[in-house]
């Protein structure tokens, strides 16, 4: 007598995935059509066509969140579920979630913040110091002001001040061999209104360049790292440690060729102005914090000097 085996499928409608989206750079939230019991078994994610590692899953009811490897703005994300190896079931009916194949995950990670240049102004003064420069337009409260100041033949020890009660902070200075200096300064959380920056401490040929930026952190001092360098190499660089999408400020000086021919790799130049010295501002558009050599390339003589700094964005 032949035996007969009969398989029964539990009745009811299988649960479904309603939506999938990022909640930050390491979490993907899945919403289901009904209350579920979820494990990581059977689940997989891809980022730009490659596997995105899963660490864990947590949640309750219809909302569950997967902890995954780092994601970034602009990544293309997908999710899959294999019922043959999975164990995600309805906590109401016990019916398992059906297969999901490369369903899109909404990437809600915001675009990286980039500091925005509001205005800039330079002044070259062949007479004695002090040297002053005033923005053409009033500064917006809370914005950031970067200052680059250098002087001709004179004594070391330059300084900068501001009106409006702004505190001017130095970030780096370099003395040039034939008795002059370059220095970088900044104002964070600037006061609103007409703003004048004054440089002093030199005897002649004072040059000052100022730039107002929005998007720089103003709840605390935004300086992340600063440095300077002097020598005959090109590019002349200094190693800075900074966060993702920092504002980098660089000042370059060469006694016979007060200009640069380019930036070290990985930088996007925002300003290059020789009205008052070789003043360069750049954004670092990397996705992660890093330590990198930053600097300028020159075609001038061997007496090169540079100061640079990295500032945290809001």
Cα(312)–Cα(310) distance, integer angstroms: 7
- The reply to whether 6 falls in a domain is no
Give me the mean pLDDT over the 238-264 stretch. Answer: 74
- Statement: residue 276 has pLDDT above 70: no
Same domain, 76 and 147: no
Residue 270: what pLDDT? Answer: 74
Kindly report the number of other CB atoms within 10 A of residue 214's CB atom: 14
Same domain, residue pair 176 and 39: no
Q: In what order do the strands lie in the sheet with 131-134?
A: 131-134, 196-200, 159-162
- 12 within a domain of the structure (yes/no): no
SS3 state of residue 196? strand
Residue 7: inside a domain, yes or no?
A: no
Q: Are residues 211 and 248 in the same domain?
A: yes
Task: Give the chain's length.
Answer: 314
Do residues 200 and 207 make contact, with C-beta atoms less than 8 angstroms apart?
A: no
Tell me which of 33 and 261 has the higher pLDDT.
Answer: 33
pLDDT tens track for 146-155: 998 877 654 4
pLDDT of 156 reads 53
Distance between CA atoms of residues 118 and 214, nearest Å: 7
The larger pLDDT score, comparing residue 280 to residue 4, is at 280
pLDDT of residue 5: 47
Closest CA to 311 of 185, 183, 224, 215: 224
Range(s) of the domain holding residue 158: 116-311
Domain-embedded: residue 4: no
> How many domains does the structure of the chain reveal?
2
**Highest mean pLDDT out of 88-92, 260-264, 276-280:** 88-92
Query: Is residue 130 located within the same domain as residue 80?
Result: no
What is the overall mean pLDDT for the chain? 83
Q: Are residues 205 and 307 in the same domain?
A: yes
Q: Is the peptide bond before 235 cis (omega within 30 degrees of 0)?
A: yes
The model's confidence at residue 299, banded by pLDDT at 50, 70 and 90, is low
* Claim to verify: residue 227 and residue 167 sit in the same structural domain: yes
**Domain boundary pick from 84, 105, 126:** 105
Same domain, 192 and 51: no
* 202 in the same domain as 63: no
8-state DSSP, 193? B
**For 301-310, what is the mean pLDDT?**
76
Mean pLDDT confidence for 269-296: 69
Q: Which residues contact 248 (CB under 8 A, 6 or more apart)?
A: 240, 242, 267, 281, 282, 283, 284, 294, 308, 309, 310, 311
96-123 mean pLDDT = 89
Tell whether 83 and 134 lie within a shared domain: no
DSSP letter for 57, please: E
Q: Is the pLDDT of residue 141 over 60?
A: yes
Percent of the chain with pLDDT over 90: 43
pLDDT, one tens digit per residue, over 235-245 is 777 888 888 77
6 pLDDT more than 60? no
Overall average pLDDT of the 54-83 stretch: 94
Residue 154 shares a structural domain with residue 287:
yes
Confidence band for 177, pLDDT divided at 50, 70 and 90? low
The CATH number given to whatever domain includes residue 52 is: 2.60.40.1220
Over residues 120-132, mean pLDDT: 76
Verify that 30 and 142 share a domain, yes or no: no
Q: Are residues 67 and 157 in the same domain?
A: no
Higher pLDDT, residue 78 or 110: 78
């Amino acid at each position: 007598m032949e035996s007969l085996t009969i398989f029964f499928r539990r009745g009811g409608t299988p649960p479904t995935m309603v939506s999938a989206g990022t909640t930050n750079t390491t979490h993907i939230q899945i919403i289901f059509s009904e209350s579920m019991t979820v494990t990581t078994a059977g689940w997989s994610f891809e980022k730009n066509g490659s596997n995105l590692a899963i660490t864990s899953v947590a949640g309750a009811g219809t909302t569950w969140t997967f902890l995954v490897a780092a994601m970034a703005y602009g990544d293309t994300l997908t999710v899959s579920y294999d019922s043959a190896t999975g164990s995600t079931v309805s906590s109401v009916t016990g019916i398992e979630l059906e297969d999901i194949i490369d369903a899109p995950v909404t990437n809600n990670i915001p675009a990286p913040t980039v500091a925005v240049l509001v205005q800039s102004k330079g002044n070259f003064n062949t007479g004695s110091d002090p040297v002053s420069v005033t923005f053409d337009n009033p500064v917006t409260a809370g914005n950031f002001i970067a200052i680059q100041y250098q002087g001709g033949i004179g004594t070391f020890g330059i300084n900068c001040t501001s009106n409006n009660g702004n505190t001017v902070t130095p970030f780096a200075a370099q003395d040039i061999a034939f008795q002059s200096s370059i220095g970088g300064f900044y104002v964070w959380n600037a006061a609103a209104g007409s703003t004048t920056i004054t440089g002093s401490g030199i005897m002649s040929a004072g040059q000052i360049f100022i730039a107002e930026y929005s998007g720089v952190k103003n709840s605390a001092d935004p300086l992340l790292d600063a440095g300077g360098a002097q020598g005959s190499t090109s590019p002349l660089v200094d190693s800075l440690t900074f966060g993702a999408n920092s504002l980098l400020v660089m000042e370059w000086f060469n006694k016979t060729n007060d200009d640069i021919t380019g930036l070290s790799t990985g930088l996007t130049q925002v300003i290059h102005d020789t009205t008052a010295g070789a003043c360069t501002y750049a954004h670092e558009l990397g996705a992660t914090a890093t330590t990198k050599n930053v600097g300028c390339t020159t075609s001038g003589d061997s007496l090169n000097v540079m100061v640079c700094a990295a500032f945290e964005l809001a």
